[in-house]
Structure 1
Amino acid sequence: MRKRLWKLHSWIGLFCAIGLLIIGLSGSVLVFHEEISSALHPDVTLNAPQDEASTRIPTSELTQSVESKFPDFWIRGWLFNTDADKRDRAYVMDRGGDEWHILYVDPYTGETADRPLDYEETLYGWFVQLHYTFFADHIGMIVAAILALGFLFLSVSGIYLHRPFFKAFFRIRWKTSSRIFFSDFHKAIGIASVPFNFILGFTGAYWNISHVAHELIEHSHEEEHEIESPYQEYGDSIDQLATIADQQIAGYALNYIYFPTESDPTFYLYGQHPEAGIINSLYGSTIWISAENGQVKHVTNLKESGWWAKVVDAFEPLHFGGFGGLFTKTLWCLAGLSPAALSITGAMMYFKRKRPKRLRQKPEASLESQSA
């Protein structure tokens, strides 16, 4: 049993190695994507210096300014940045097309970049596509989900196979053969990163599988994909959304608005209830408001939701580690490197283990040639 599990662990590890290497490294970058983007492009992502008297421009004016400045685009979503130093993000789409773009907007001055950026032009967008889809859309998402499930299996089987290693935790024999060194290093990384491996593997697999399943179910009911067009008549009513939302959930923090379309004239609001904890996402409580008459169509208060909804909502902060500031981000960044380290050390262990067998075969082959 143990020998078979060891072989299965080795083969699955080799099969997943390159994919997990890419996912791990890209995930580590995504943990600090905002800090990296701000350092590389402060003129695009950061607000102008503000004094205490500075106030945000009304959202209706910001949206009108964006669509006037870029008439070939229309707004699909608006992300309010909770960090006062960083710009809001307008998610826009080219009219008559279905390609998403990102535009950073200073909410105090209305200043924007020279043009909306294609999603994959941004550091965040490029690494998200690499991390979740390998730039292969739904096929890539399925592959990433399979790799995440493989990673979970490797974590579970690794605990079983190396359970005696807990007795000598972090024992690395430096002055010995490279095979033993890589074996000790592999076990140490695997054991130390077990909690992170379960969190990252399970949440990543859940997101990709649920997204692909949703797309398959949704498209199975659609005969042809239609390009959306903007709903033109919401005007200044967008400034009333926060007030309406607060009437539904007192103290509601509005973080993202998904804009109405001609086929679906509804504002979808995503935010937090006032008692949200550090492992609650920014988008767990949702409110749907009609763009035609301002009537509330649906309210989901995460505080009153079931336990599974609360668990799923915690996946985002738990996956990226942003809930505890720099300390947890650093831990999660290092944890993201563990799949890469495990892939490399696991591969080295496998090939080092194979090498002695070949060496033992050489004298036998030589004797056979001499006897011939």
Structure 2
Amino acid sequence: MRKRLWQLHSWLGLFAGLGLVLIGLTGSVLVFHHEITRALQPDRVLRESPVDAPRLPLSQLITTVETAQPDFWVRGWLLYHGDERRDVAYLTPHADSNDWHIVTVDPATGTLGTATPVATHDTIYGWFVDLHYTFFADHVGLVLTALLAIIFIFLSLSGLYLHRAFFKTVFRLRWGQSWRLFSSDVHKAVGIASLPFNLLLGFTGAYWNIAHVIEEMSHDHEEAEVWTTYEGRLDRVDELPALAESQWPGYAFNYVYLPTAEDQQFYVFGQTEPGAALRSRYGSTLWLDAASLEINYEKDLRNAGLWARVVDSFEPLHFGDFGGLVSKILWCLAGLAPGALTLSGALIWFHRRRKQPRSPTSVV
């Protein structure tokens, strides 16, 4: 039993190794994507106005963007409160409503961060997200990365079982001896030290991808290539923050998806517990009729079921941005673990293969 488990562990590790390395490395980059983008493109992402400067009305900001970009219309708006980052406007061309772009906007001045909108997959964040979750292969890639995440969970658990005795000397590294012994010690030490992260990151990543694929397969998602603009979509947009605040005092209004002619509703996403640990920025939602602002649906995460709250925590837990710089560094290092495990595991496997005696039938 132990021998067969070791063989399965070895072969699956070799099979999934390169993919897990890519997922781990891109995940490490994504942990610090805000800092990387800020360093490389400060003019695009950082606001010119003071952080505490009053915001312009949202309708005015949207109009400013659409005036500057007459071939696009704004579909959604991401707001940053008390933050040095600009807001992000999500746009699509009039001719293709499935081709998403972004432009950053200073919320106090309306100044755009770029002269032209940037396709979401051409941003630093978008490029790494596509590689991390899909290997640039859309739904096939989602299935593949979900499979790799499941394999990663199995490798972590089987490695724990196979090397459980190693806990007695978990920090032992036999320097100055053979590469096989040193690689074995590194492999076991990294595997055990990173085990909680491996299980957490593997499970949350697999859940997101599998849930997305199931949702796509179980619903009809045939959409028109061109969505049409609902002319009244800005008439009452400036009332949304106050309405959400009256519904849930202290509510953080973080994102709004604007109505279309085909779907005349505002979709508001935010937090009823701003600053709460292990909460995403979008867990509490309101759907409102675009004309009357009648609430058609609401979800206050504080009153949601246990599983809904657990799933909402997946985002901060997966990206490690809940504990400031300390958690980010730990999560970044965790992203390097698959690379160390793959390299050390491959060295162990090849050394064992080389040591195996040849059978008589292989001798001429």
Give 1:105-144 correspondences, 5 Å limit: 105-112=105-112, 113-144=114-145
- How many residue pairs end up in the alignment? 362
Q: Distance in 1 between matches of 2:269 and 2:361?
A: 70
Amino acid of the structure 1 residue aligned with 2:6 = W
Q: How does 1:180-191 map to 2 (within 5 A)?
A: 180-191=181-192
Q: CA RMSD in A?
A: 1.7
Instruction: Give the aligned partner of residue 300 of structure 1.
Output: 299
Gaps of 5+ in 1: none
TM-superposed CA distance for 1:96, in Å, is 2.0
**CA spacing shift, 1:317–1:328, aligned 2, 3 Å:** same
Match of residue 242 from structure 1: 241
The answer as to whether partners of 2:102 and 2:120 remain within 8 angstroms in 1 is: yes
Q: SS of the counterpart of 1:314? A: helix
Distance 1:313 1:162, change over 3 A: same
Other-structure match for 1:214: 215
Say whether the 8 Å CA contact 2:37–2:45 is kept in structure 1. Answer: yes
Using the alignment, how far apart are the partners of 1:32 and 1:224 within structure 2? 34
The 3 A distance-change label for structure 1 pair 303 and 57 is same
* Alignment correspondent of 2:203: 202
SS in structure 1 at match of 2:47: coil
Deviation track 1:224-283 (CA, whole Å, cap 9, x = no partner) reads: 655322222122411100111112212111111111111111111111113662101111
Structure 1 runs (4+) greater than 3 angstroms displaced: 222-227
Superposition deviation, residue 150 in structure 1: 0.4
C-alpha separation in 1, matches of 2:38 and 2:81:
15
Q: Tell me which residue corresponds to 2:11.
A: 11
After TM superposition, give the deviation of residue 286 of structure 1 in Å. 0.5
The question of whether the paired residues in 2 share the 8 Å contact of 1:77 and 1:258 is answered with yes
| CA distance in 2: counterparts of 1:351 and 1:102, whole angstroms | 47
Q: What corresponds to 1:20 in structure 2?
A: 20
Shift of 1:216: 1.2
Mapped partners of 1:314, 1:274: distance in 2: 13
Query: Does the aligned pair in 2 maintain the 1:146–1:205 contact within 8 Å?
Result: yes
- The residue aligned with 2:320 is 321
Name the residue aligned to 2:264. Answer: 265
- 1:327 and 1:93 map into 2 onto residues whose CA distance is 37
How far apart are the structure 1 equivalents of 2:264 and 2:161?
54
CA distance in 1, matches of 2:38, 2:179: 42
Distance 2:70 2:16 in 1: 46
Which protein has the bigger helix share? 1
Query: How far apart, CA to CA, are the structure 1 residues paired with 2:178 and 2:311?
Result: 45
List gaps (5 residues or longer) in structure 2.
none
Could you state the TM-score of these two structures normalised by the residue count of structure 2? 0.96
Call closer, same or farther: CA 1:22–1:259 in 2, change over 3 Å: same
The amino acid of 1:173's aligned partner reads: R
Structure 1 counterpart SS, 2:322? helix
User: Aligned partners of 2:62 and 2:189: how far apart in 1?
Assistant: 52
- After superposition, the C-alpha distances for 1:96-132 in whole angstroms (9 at most, x for unaligned) are 2111111111111111111110112110000000000
CA positional deviation for 1:353: 1.3
C-alpha separation between the residues in 1 aligned to 2:146 and 2:78? 27
Q: Is the 8 A contact 1:250 1:274 kept in 2?
A: no
Cα deviation for residue 361 of structure 1 reads 3.7
Q: CA deviation at 1:49?
A: 4.3
Matched, 1:59 2:40: no
Residue identity matched to 1:269? V
8 Å contact from structure 1 (residues 77, 259) kept in 2 = yes
Q: Please name the residue that 1:310 is paired with.
A: 309
What is the percent sequence identity of the aligned residues? 52
Task: Say whether the 8 Å CA contact 2:174–2:181 is kept in structure 1.
Answer: yes
CA–CA separation in structure 2 for the residues paired with 1:280 and 1:233: 33
Question: CA–CA distance in 1 between the matches of 2:195 and 2:273?
Answer: 33
Once the two structures are superposed, the pairs formed by residues 83-98 of structure 1 within 5 Å of their partners are 83-97=82-96, 98=98
2:361 equivalent to 1:345: no
Partner of 1:285: 284
Cα pair 2:236 2:291 within 8 Å, conserved: no
Deviation at 1:136, TM superposition (A): 0.5
Aligned mates of 2:260, 2:223 — CA distance in 1: 17
* Paired residue type of 1:238: V
CA contact (8 A) 1:257 1:269 kept: yes
Query: Is the CA contact 2:272–2:300 (under 8 Å) kept in the aligned structure 1?
Result: yes
| Residues 160-175 of structure 1 mapped to structure 2, 5 A cutoff | 160-175=161-176
Instruction: Measure, in 1, the Cα distance between the counterparts of 2:269 and 2:289.
Output: 15
- Larger deviation: 32-41 or 337-346? 337-346
Q: CA distance change for structure 1 residues 83 and 121 in 2, over 3 Å: closer, same or farther? A: farther
Contact residue 248 and residue 299 of structure 1 kept, 8 A = no
Q: Which moved more, 1:75-84 or 1:41-50?
A: 75-84
Query: Are the aligned partners of 1:26 and 1:131 in contact in 2 as well (CA < 8 Å)?
Result: yes
- Following TM superposition, by how much is the alpha carbon of 1:365 offset from its aligned partner in structure 2, in angstroms? 9.1
